Structure formats: structure tokens, C-alpha cells
Amino acid sequence: MKKWIWAGCMLLCSFAARAQDADNKSTDTDSKSTSAGYVPVVSGGLGYVYNVVGGVPTLLPQIDPVLLVPFGSHVLLESRTDFTGFFERRNGTGDYTGEIFKSVEYAQLDWLASSHVTAVAGRYWLPFGLYPERYQALWIAVFQDRPITGAIGTPNGSGDGGQLRGVAAQTDKFTIDYAAYFSTHSNTNELQASRVAGGDGSIFFPDKHIEVGGSYQRLLEGHEINSGALYAQWKPQAIPLDVKTEYDRSFYGQGYWVEGNYMLSQLPVANNLFKNLQIGLRSQQFDPLNGGGHGLPTVNTQRVDIALNYYFRDNNWRVISNYGRQFSSGNDQNVWNVGFTYRFLWPLWPGRK
């Protein structure tokens, strides 16, 4: 086994040296003209959410520190750990009691070999659909609850293994991106992962601010199933709006969500107040297949949500609120939450200014 791994590594190194060389030739002269520093960073988000589902309240304190350690300008070690508390009232009316759950969401070594190839090794967020890679972060998500279809294509949320990603082709008019990955099975605490292989590709039109993509994944253990997603997002520059949508399908069900978020900065009255206020609308529909389950509802479910978020202090702080109504056979319920989120970004040591 060892022998093969060494052979593989040697092969990788030789190719990588070649790829890096190609980039260095054309960019090293340019890098001299920037004062950008590569000091390690601790960033991430923290928040506190009071969540009520069907009349039952829970308190959800959360902190997600992200550690970024660069080795030169081509290799980056990045990790993110999630600590989420889950506190409910004892017997429905007593004191709040609960526990804090910890999980390593990613701990990966990225080697930015060239525009076309970044090789990733370690634990990484599975690149499937728009979540979790883009919108899972506490300080990014407009709606704190992930979409109903969130469990499709993300067994255990993260994968342990390798990934290649990068730009497949780029012109002034569009960029085509790809990611291809393989994850092994792991039962290790906090690093649990399923044996899966998959890929994601998207095309981005920068002038039109439109992105369209698709993901595919095959589970390579137990009941081997395929999962797929199609997604699109549009963020016009003329109006402070962003619209995104995703359709997901797996053996256990299919569904879609559509989300539109608008900053009220164009309101002619009390602009100072409204420019930081965001209103979000989301609609979802899910139909189980083959009994559903596996993190998905077992009955047809629809849900509509409205969010009202207020951003302040360089968008680092937010007061968030969300009201939703979920409709599913005989069990309609209200879901709402209020809370705050904070994004932090700190150099690990002073370094040059």
C-alpha cells in the first residue's frame, strides 16, 4: 500500500511542479507590485438564535472558528470547527438544559497549483449544490434553517479524501468552474464521512452576474444511490437583489427552493435606517420518493419563509429574524427565530502593515 502511495505522490509532485512553474513564469513579476501579506488568520462567525418550531423553543448559541495558515502563496491550510449548543426546556416548561455539539467541518490542505487545478486533501465540505460550501456559514445565511433538500448530496456534510477544483476555462464573458472529489468512509468521531465520489460544475457570466451549475454524486456504500442538483443564482448590480434557486433529487426524494433577498437601500425615506435592512423570501417544496427519510421528510412538505435582517458595523454584525410556515400532511406548523450573528477576521500575529 505504502509503495503505491509514494509512487502516486512522486507522480503528483512532478506534475504539480510543472503546473506551478507555468503560473510562476507569468505572475511572479506581477506579485512584486502588491503589498498583500500572508499572515495566518482566525476568522469565522458566532451567533445566538432563539428558535421556535411548532411552539417548542430552543436556544442555539454557535461559534465557528476558521483557521487559515498559508505556506507561501500556493499552499493553504484551512480548517473550520463548529460548536453549536442545543438547549431546550426541561419537560417543556422547566429550565433550559442541553449540550454543545462539536464537529470539524473542514480541515484541508489546498495546493493552488495553477488556475486550472487546486488539489485539496483532508476533510472538506462536499461541493454539492449551493449549500454548504457557499451559504452554510452562520454570518452568510439569510435564513438560518438550511433548505429541506439540504440533506441531499451531503451525507455527513463533509468528505474525507481528495478533491480537485479550479477554472476549466475562462474568457472575458464567462468562467467555467469544476470540482471533482472522492471521499472514503470514516466512523471516527467528528470526522465521520461516507464513501462517495462526485463532481460539480458551473458557468458564471460576470457581466450578467448569473451563475448556473449542476452537481452529481454517487454514494459508494450500503444502498448505492445517485444524487443530483441543478442550481442558478443571479445578482444584478443595478438593484440590491439576489435571487437563487436549486433543484435536488436523490433516491429518497426530490425538491426545490427559491430564495430572493433585497436590501432596502433604494427606499427614499429614512435611507440611513433602511439601507442596512434586508428582506428575504424563500419558498420550498419537497416530495419523498421510496419512503423518504435519511434526513429528509417522509411526507410531501411545503414551506414559505420571510426573513428580516439588519446589518451594521461594516456588515460584521447582524440582527436576524425569520418567520416560516411549514405545510405537511396534517402537521402544519410555524417556525420562527430571532438572534444575532457576528463575523470576525483577525490576523494571528501583527506581521508587516
Partner 1 sequence: MAKQRLISKKTVLVVLAAVGVWIGAAGLLAQSQSPEAAKPAPQAAQASDTDRGEKVFANNCSRCHKPPMTIPPRITGTVVMHMRVRARLSRADEQALLRYLAP
Kindly list the residues in this chain that would bind ligand HEC in the complex (CB under 6 A): 43-44, 64, 66, 68, 80, 134, 137, 140, 345
Tell me if 182 contacts partner 1 by CB under 8 A.
Answer: yes
By C-alpha distance, which of 209, 252, 256 is closest to 229? 256
Query: Smaller CB distance to ligand HEC: residue 74 or 89?
Result: 74
Q: Which stretch binds partner 1 (CB under 8 A): 70-78, 149-157, 245-253, 323-331?
A: 70-78
Tell me if 233 contacts partner 1 by CB under 8 A.
Answer: yes
Judged by beta carbon distances under 5 to 8 A according to partner kind, the member of partner 1, ligand HEC, none in contact with residue 33 is partner 1
- Distance from C-alpha of 17 to C-alpha of 1, rounded to nearest angstrom: 24
Tell me if 222 contacts partner 1 by CB under 8 A.
Answer: no
Using DSSP's 3-state secondary structure scheme, residue 197 falls into strand
DSSP 186: B
The amino acid present at 128, given as its one-letter code, is F
* Residues 272, 275, 276, 281, Cα dihedral to 10°: 150
Half-sphere exposure of 11 (CA within 13 A, CB side): 6
Tell me if 165 contacts partner 1 by CB under 8 A.
Answer: yes
Half-sphere exposure of 134 (CA within 13 A, CB side): 11
Which residue from 54, 97, 206, 270 is in contact with partner 1, where contact means CB under 8 A?
206
Q: Which stretch binds partner 1 (CB under 8 A): 150-158, 204-212, 287-295, 334-342?
A: 204-212
Nearest approach, Cβ of residue 268 and ligand HEC (Å) = 31
Tell me if 177 contacts partner 1 by CB under 8 A.
Answer: yes
CB atoms inside a 10 Å sphere around CB 19: 18
Query: Smaller CB distance to partner 1: residue 123 or 249?
Result: 123
Tell me if 93 contacts partner 1 by CB under 8 A.
Answer: no
Nearest approach, Cβ of residue 106 and ligand HEC (Å) = 7
Interface with partner 1 (CB under 8 A), residue total 88
Query: Smaller CB distance to ligand HEC: residue 145 or 242?
Result: 242
Nearest approach, Cβ of residue 117 and partner 1 (Å) = 4
Which residue from 58, 302, 316, 321 is in contact with partner 1, where contact means CB under 8 A?
316
Q: Please give the grid coordinates belonging to residue 62.
A: 454557535
- Distance from C-alpha of 257 to C-alpha of 243, rounded to nearest angstrom: 11
Tell me if 231 contacts partner 1 by CB under 8 A.
Answer: no
Judged by beta carbon distances under 5 to 8 A according to partner kind, the member of ligand HEC, partner 1, none in contact with residue 270 is none
Q: Please give the grid coordinates belonging to residue 68.
A: 487559515
The amino acid present at 103, given as its one-letter code, is S
Tell me if 56 contacts partner 1 by CB under 8 A.
Answer: no
Nearest approach, Cβ of residue 145 and partner 1 (Å) = 18
How many residues belong to the chain?
A: 353
Do 219 and 250 contact (CB within 8 A), yes or no? no
Nearest approach, Cβ of residue 33 and partner 1 (Å) = 6
Q: Transcribe 245-314 into DSSP letters.
A: EEEEEETTEEEEEEEEEEEGGG-SSSHHHHTTEEEEEEEEEEEESTT-BTTB-SS-EEEEEEEEEEEETT
